[in-house]
């Protein structure tokens, strides 16, 4: 008899709450688990725990809280700090998914004799006859699809992952299910910010939680022309135009950094476009190796549109050549590769 026990990550929001309901309706045996990640974060306050617990009590499933603050600091926050210290722009949700939701949670699932783990992400898993393996796919939610932030999960887990919301097209459908089933979180607002920076001020977070402090340096053009002073390189990101504190005959944008000289490099909009990039820290889900050039669709940010490109693996890196130059590609962000609606894999952009 199939083991239908599922460990469900619950944030206290409507997505994971409706996921619990749907799993139970489909005959699974869900157990709700809320990860305790960072004191004061939007996903680790008393309301979060109580909302998740109340939902579980209401639909008659167990719920517990698991403390993994130490692991979260080591794997997610330290990476966040390290990226900014090295002039990169991180995406901490991707690290959290890899190490917390699809790392620690899967370990707990095994100890609880659960055959599956589940989350409220908008994504899909299914077995592909064409590729002879389980695959991670885009959901039907269009702009709400979250497959981009899941590229780094271990591929051997895919057949043990359930995304109950994968076939829904909008968040409103989820809220309506919550209302019909009297879930009190039906109209709970979405959390938009980084969970451990709930006020959105990542600069203050860095200054309070690391050795990163304001260090004034020069703002320069690529030809060395000095235009002004910056307030510390961590305050800026590729493509930024506002807040530079300089005036010039045409609009200027951040196009790069020189950490050795503590210089912020600015240029015109046309200098933001790139045809080729490299990615490292590769995780391939659909194939084991890319031995010859492949045509794929690429996303270089969660909110960016797909771009057509050719990719080829060179050792532990992948070279990406876009059909058309792409704007504001940012080291530290992820490049995620798609074949149709299947996630091929991804890596971290290093330029």
Cα–Cα distance, 59 to 68 (Å, whole number): 26
Per-residue buried b or exposed e for 180-209, using 16+ beta carbons within 10 Å of the residue's own CB: eeebebbebeeeeebbbbbeeebbebbeee
Could you give the C-alpha distances from 79 to 94, 264, 297, in angstroms and in order?
Answer: 11, 22, 27
Catalytic residues: 96, 195
- CATH topology of 214-267 equal to that of 273-349? no
Please list the helix, strand and coil fractions of the chain in percent, rounded to the nearest 5, in that order: 30, 30, 40
- 73 three-class SS: helix
How distant is the alpha carbon of residue 324 from its chain centre? 25
> In terms of CATH architecture, what is 273-349?
Beta Barrel (2.40)
Cα–Cα distance, 328 to 271 (Å, whole number): 9
pLDDT of residue 192: 67
pLDDT of residue 267: 97
How distant is the alpha carbon of residue 152 from its chain centre? 9
Total-model pTM: 0.94
Cα–Cα distance, 334 to 79 (Å, whole number): 14
Q: Where are the chain's structural domains?
A: 5-180, 214-267, 273-349
CA neighbor of 92 nearest in space, from 314, 306, 332, 330: 332
Q: Count other C-beta atoms under 10 Å from residue 214's C-beta.
A: 12
Paired residues of 117 in beta bridges:
7, 161
- H helices then E strands: how many in the chain? 8, 17
* CATH class (in words) of the domain with range 5-180: alpha beta
How distant is the alpha carbon of residue 117 from its chain centre? 18
**What string of pLDDT tens digits covers the 351 residues of the chain?**
678 999 999 989 999 999 999 999 999 999 999 999 987 666 666 778 899 999 999 999 999 999 999 999 999 999 999 999 999 999 999 999 999 999 999 999 999 999 999 999 999 999 999 999 999 999 999 889 999 999 999 999 999 999 999 999 999 999 999 999 999 998 888 876 788 888 889 999 999 999 999 999 999 999 999 999 999 999 999 999 999 999 899 999 999 999 999 999 999 999 999 999 999 999 999 999 999 999 999 999 998 999 999 999 999 999 999 999 999 999 999 999 999 999 999 999 997
Q: Let me know: does 162 contact 124? Beta carbons within 8 Å.
A: no
Q: Count other C-beta atoms under 10 Å from residue 267's C-beta.
A: 16
The domain made up of 214-267 is a member of CATH 2.30.30.280:
yes
């Amino acid at each position: 008899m199939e083991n239908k026990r599922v460990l469900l990550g619950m944030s206290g929001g409507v997505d994971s709450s409706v996921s619990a309901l749907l799993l139970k309706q489909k005959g699974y045996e869900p157990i709700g688990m809320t990860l305790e990640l960072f004191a004061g974060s939007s996903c680790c306050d008393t309301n979060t725990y109580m909302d998740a617990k109340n939902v579980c009590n209401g639909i008659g499933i167990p719920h517990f809280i698991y403390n993994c603050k130490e692991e979260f600091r080591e794997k997610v926050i330290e990476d966040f700090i390290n990226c900014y210290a090295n002039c990169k722009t991180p995406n901490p949700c991707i690290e959290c998914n890899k190490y917390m939701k699809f790392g620690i949670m899967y370990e707990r699932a095994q100890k609880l004799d659960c055959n599956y783990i589940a989350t409220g992400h908008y994504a899909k898993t299914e077995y592909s006859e064409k590729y002879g393996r389980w695959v991670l796919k885009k959901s039907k939610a269009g702009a709400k699809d979250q497959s981009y932030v899941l590229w780094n999960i271990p591929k051997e887990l895919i057949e043990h992952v359930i995304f109950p919301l994968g076939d829904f097209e909008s968040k409103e459908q989820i809220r309506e299910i919550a209302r019909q089933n009297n879930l009190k979180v039906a109209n709970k607002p979405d959390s938009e910010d980084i969970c451990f920076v709930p006020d959105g001020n990542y600069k203050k977070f860095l200054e309070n939680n690391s050795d990163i402090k304001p260090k004034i340096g020069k703002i320069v053009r690529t030809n060395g022309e000095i235009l002004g002073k910056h307030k510390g390189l961590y305050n800026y990101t590729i493509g930024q135009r506002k807040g530079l504190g300089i005036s010039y005959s045409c609009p200027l944008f951040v196009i790069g950094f020189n950490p050795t000289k503590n210089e912020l490099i600015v240029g015109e909009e046309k200098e933001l476009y790139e045809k080729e990039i490299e990615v490292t820290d590769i995780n391939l889900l659909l194939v084991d190796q890319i031995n010859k050039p492949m045509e794929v669709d690429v996303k270089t940010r969660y909110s960016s549109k797909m771009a057509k490109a050719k990719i080829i693996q060179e050792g532990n890196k992948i070279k990406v050549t876009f059909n058309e130059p792409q704007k504001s590609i940012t080291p530290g962000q992820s490049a995620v590769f798609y074949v149709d609606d299947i996630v091929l894999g991804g890596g971290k952009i290093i330029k």
